[in-house]
Amino acid sequence: MLGVDNSETLDAAFELRVKWVVCLDNTIRIVPKHIDGVEISHAFLTNGEEVLAAGEAEIVAMGDGDYLGAQITNHSGHYEPPAASLALAVALFANHGIVFDEDAQEPVAGS
Amino acid sequence: MSPLLMGDPITKVTEIDKRPDVAALTSVDGIDPIDPATRSTPVPGDLLEELLRSGPEHALERVRSGRVPAGFSLQRLGEGAAANASLEEGRRPAFLWAETAIHAFDLVGDEERAMALRTLLVTRFGPEARSLSDPEPVMDWLKRSVPLTPDELVERARDWKEKSREEILKLRQIKNRLSIVARLAESFPECVDDETRGLLDVRQQLP
């Protein structure tokens, strides 16, 4: 469903809070917020290139390839994306079967 | 100061491939994904760049004094200083960057990031009372932010898939906090009391 053959890969990726970016080609990339205790910068996901949107999310694996979009924000210290960019990410995640209800969307003031 | 020095996080990046119909998604709530005006570029921030490049003493002095212009992002300074702290090999510069970051996080109320950074210092440099690598503030924070016994947490986590999104999110936030302390417990189990160890045992039952 999500373009990733191995759902265990996604389940593991969503084990804790993640950072995400929407690249210029509308691809979503995600990474755990912390790896070995070190916080990973959004810039790492993109080599510092431009993005359409960036933020953090809590996505919970519900089993059988279903995922709950528990919370999503456009928080990124590196990019400070505008709050409006969150709508694009929400739509793209929904296209992949991860739905963030309105209550789960927490836009923050960006640049 | 490449983050790759801290391991190889590139292996943990997951890319959700673009599905064919995504390309047709040219406008979402008025946002055109291919409009360059909507692109977010890395924020330059002259003062921020200056502080992060000038050395930790200068940055710490600046954040302590509060002499930052209106609109300056303390959150960004905190995140940049935390990144520097995690990459510095020397104890002193790492602690100075960490102190800068923790001070900035305190000012913006981002306690979880501050505690994650303290935990990183403990695991890298060892526990040391009354210093930035003192595990005590981390343990106190956990007890304050997760005021539950292990049994209460087990009960709260039971049948979590049937619970509301809000409750699942709260349980996930507890799991995130426990994950910070779990790293500390792995390296220095003597720093963790029985009650906290009990909470850590419940971690895998949380969403």
Q: Are residues B154 and B58 in the same domain?
A: no
The residue with tokens 């979402």 is: B28
List pLDDT tens digits, range A52-111: 999 999 999 999 889 999 999 999 988 989 999 999 999 999 999 999 999 999 999 875
pLDDT at residue B15, rounded to an integer: 66
Per-residue model confidence as pLDDT tens digits over A24-54: 999 999 999 999 999 999 999 999 899 999 9
Residue B51 lies in a domain: yes
**Who among B16, B31, B43 is closest to A2 (CB)?**
B16
Q: Within an 8 Å CB–CB cutoff, is residue A83 touching chain B?
A: no
Whether residue B18 is contained in a domain is answered as no
* Window B:36-55, CB contacts with A under 8 Å: 38-43
User: CA angle, B5 as apex, A110 and B10 as ends, to 5°?
Assistant: 65
CA distance B62 to B65: 5
Structure confidence at residue A110 (pLDDT): 72
Q: Which residues contact B125 (CB under 8 A, 6 or more apart)?
A: B91, B94, B133
- B139 and B201, same structural domain? yes
Sign of CA dihedral B93, B94, B96, B97: positive
Whether B22 is in a domain gets the answer no
Q: Do both B96 and B148 map to the same domain?
A: no
Which residue, chain included where needed, has tokens 């900035």?
B104
Same domain, B61 and B2: yes
Residue B67, pLDDT score: 84
Same domain, B59 and B137: no
Nearest CA-CA distance, residue A75 and chain B, Å: 10
Domain boundaries, chain A: 7-106
CA atoms within 13 A on the CB side of B130: 0
B122, part of any domain: no
Q: How far is CA A7 from CA A2, A4, A62, B1, B189, in A?
A: 8, 7, 12, 33, 33
Same domain, B104 and B2: yes
Q: Which domain holds residue B167?
A: 131-207
Which of B110, B112, B133, B122 is closest to B184 using CA atoms?
B122
Q: Cβ of B161 under 8 Å from any chain A Cβ?
A: yes
Q: Where does the pLDDT of residue A13 fall: very low under 50, low under 70, confident under 90, or very high at 90 and above? A: confident
Q: With an 8 Å Cβ cutoff, is A97 touching chain B?
A: no
Q: How far is CA B157 from CA B87, B169, B178, B207, in A?
A: 37, 11, 14, 8
Regarding whether B58 and B148 lie in a shared domain, the answer is no
The answer as to whether B78 is a domain residue is: yes
Q: Do B167 and B199 have their domain in common?
A: yes
> Would you place residue A4 in the very low, low, confident or very high pLDDT band (cuts 50, 70, 90)?
low
Are residue B135 and residue B65 in the same domain, yes or no? Answer: no
Of A43, A101, A110, the CB nearest to B165: A101
Rounded CA separation A107/A29 (Å): 19
Estimate to the nearest angstrom the gap between the alpha carbon of B31 and the chain centroid. 30
Q: Residue B46 and residue B156: Cα distance in Å, rounded?
A: 47
Mutate to test the interface with B, among A7, A36, A66 (most CBs of B within 10 A): A36
The reply to whether B145 and B87 lie within a common domain is no
Is B177:B140 a contact under the CB 8 Å cutoff? no
Q: Which residue of A has its CA nearest to B113?
A: A39
Asked whether residue B83 falls in the same domain as residue B138, the answer is: no
Mutate to test the interface with B, among A19, A52, A85, A90 (most CBs of B within 10 A): A52
> Is A64's Cβ below 8 Å from some Cβ in B?
no
- State whether B158 and B206 are in the same domain: yes
Rounded distance, CA B150 to CA B166, Å?
Answer: 21
pTM of the model: 0.85
DSSP string, A33-92: SEETTEEPPHHHHHTT--BSEEEEEEEEEEETTEEEEEEEE---TTT---TTHHHHHHHH
**DSSP run (H or E) holding B167:** helix B165-187
Number of domains in chain B: 2
Low pLDDT (below 70) residues in chain B? 1-38, 41-45
Residue of B nearest to A76 (CA): B76
| Kind of pairing between the strands at A18-22 and A53-63 | antiparallel
Beta bridge pairs of residue A18: A32, A57
B34 contact residues in A (CB cutoff 8 A): 24
